Amino acid sequence: MPEKPVTKSHTDDEISLIDLAITLAKHKKLIIGAPLIVAVVVAIYTFIIPPTYTADTQMLPPQQQSSASAMLSQLGALGGMAGAAGIKNPNDTYVAMLKSRTIQDSMIKRFKLQAVYETKTPEKTRKALNGATKVTVGKDGIIGISVDDKNPQRAALLANGYVDALQQMTQVFAVTEASHRRLFYEKQLLQAKQNLGDAEIALKQLQEKTGIIHIDSQAQLGIGTAANIKGQIAMKEVELGAMRTFATGNNPDLVRTQQTITGLRAQLGKIETGTVATSKVPETGLEYIRKTRDFKYAETIYEMLAKQFEIAKIDEAKESSVIQVLDKAIPPEQKSKPKRSLMVLISALATGFLTILYAFIKEALQNAKKDTETEAQLKTLKKTLRWN
């Protein structure tokens, strides 16, 4: 009968637990000693490096709620437009503002951080400040600011400084709904003031040229009425332009506003072309009437815009005061870094893992040298790894 081929047993192909234990025992000094030495070195290092302190502050962002819609009810649909134009997610906006370069530069200048961080350029100072600062938003909407620093007092000052810088920025930039209105009316008011000044100068020059200083009461009444109607038309046109940014041509409020403007223009046309204001005025006084009408119109527009501007300023002041600090940062009593125990434990475990891996690799290489075929393969591997 033919002989059966000799096969290796299943246990010969496996590494037994005894072999693993023998390998660990042969390198026990390295496996135990190296982690202990590294742990001692890391522990000494954690005592040498200066500790880091973390100061925390929490605040409520300004809420996008405004009383201007009620106060500006005389503007009709413009109040609804203001609500539609509000910021959808204010928390993201304020977090972005806290991380902005403008606030970072303000903090660097106020606390002289370039000297504190010992950086050579403003860009590196910003990176250092950004690395030491953490801004988070909780599920409850509360914004948290954490600042790390080697000085606990300075850490608290920096955390509170972010809140102060945010307050100042919200006073400058149009962030809230009321801020947008205030900025809009402020620009319109400056233009109206310029127009009023020009009309006043033109009227004064005409008075000096013609010697006319007044007109009869009937003409004065017509001029006042026309100026008031023109002022209403101008304000409605401002409202109509704002509505067109978000409403379609079939919007009921937009159609109603257009009809109102048409009716006011019809009234103005009757007054300007009728006989009430101009038929009884001499030909030489017509130019004076026109200049007076332009002045009254500019004056009416300026008064209307001034009222709306004051309302927007009051509403903006109310909204800006909504930033409330829940927990003001105080100098921390305990350090947050370095975490000595955690650093020592991680370094010891990592070193122990590496030494065990080294022991197994060394043992495998030694066993491979005993095998002629494996040794030849190792020589080939070393040869192929060479660059030359």
Lowest mean pLDDT among 137-151, 249-263, 361-375: 361-375
287: pLDDT strictly greater than 60:
yes
- Which of 53, 31, 42 has its CA nearest to residue 342? 42
CA distance 98 to 102: 9
Confidence of residue 96 (pLDDT cuts 50, 70, 90): confident
84: pLDDT strictly greater than 50:
no
282: pLDDT strictly greater than 90:
no
Lowest mean pLDDT among 116-125, 165-174, 266-275: 266-275
Segment 282-306 shows an average pLDDT of 74
- Give the rounded percent of residues in the chain with a pLDDT score beyond 90: 16
Enumerate the domain spans of the chain.
29-49+340-385, 53-177, 198-317
Lowest mean pLDDT among 248-252, 256-260, 285-289, 294-298: 285-289
The tokens of 92 are what?
A: 């993201």
Q: At what angle do helices 28-48 and 340-370 cross, to 10 degrees?
A: 150
Torsion angle of the four alpha carbons 266, 270, 272, 278, in this order, in degrees rounded to the nearest 10: -170
Confidence of residue 109 (pLDDT cuts 50, 70, 90): very high
Residue 322: per-residue pLDDT: 60
- Structure-model confidence comparison of residues 275 and 212, the more confident one: 212
294: amino acid identity, one letter: D
Confidence of residue 114 (pLDDT cuts 50, 70, 90): very high
What are the distances in angstroms from CA 303 to CA 46, 295, 310?
69, 12, 11
CA distance 326 to 324: 6
Lowest mean pLDDT among 199-203, 230-234, 243-247, 365-369: 243-247
End-to-end CA distance of the chain: 56
Residue 79: per-residue pLDDT: 43
72: pLDDT strictly greater than 60:
no
Q: Around 165, how many Cα atoms within 13 Å sit in the side-chain half-sphere?
A: 25
- Could you check whether the bond before residue 90 is cis, i.e. omega within 30 degrees of 0? no
10: pLDDT strictly greater than 50:
no
Confidence of residue 1 (pLDDT cuts 50, 70, 90): very low
278: pLDDT strictly greater than 50:
no
Provide the mean pLDDT of the chain.
75
Helical H segments across the chain, by residue range: 17-26, 28-48, 68-71, 78-84, 90-98, 101-111, 113-116, 122-132, 152-172, 177-210, 217-243, 252-273, 286-320, 340-370, 372-385
262: pLDDT strictly greater than 70:
yes
The tokens of 26 are what?
A: 């042969």
3-state secondary structure of 345: helix
Residue 67: per-residue pLDDT: 43
Residue 146: per-residue pLDDT: 94
Residue 69: per-residue pLDDT: 42
Lowest mean pLDDT among 62-71, 92-101, 183-192, 335-344: 62-71
Confidence of residue 245 (pLDDT cuts 50, 70, 90): low
- Structure-model confidence comparison of residues 350 and 207, the more confident one: 350
The tokens of 170 are what?
A: 């919200």
Confidence of residue 78 (pLDDT cuts 50, 70, 90): very low
Confidence of residue 56 (pLDDT cuts 50, 70, 90): very high
Confidence of residue 224 (pLDDT cuts 50, 70, 90): low
- Structure-model confidence comparison of residues 340 and 190, the more confident one: 190
Give the β-pairing of 133-137 and 143-149.
antiparallel
Architecture of domain 53-177: 2-Layer Sandwich (3.30)
Segment 151-176 shows an average pLDDT of 83
Torsion angle of the four alpha carbons 348, 351, 355, 361, in this order, in degrees rounded to the nearest 10: 140
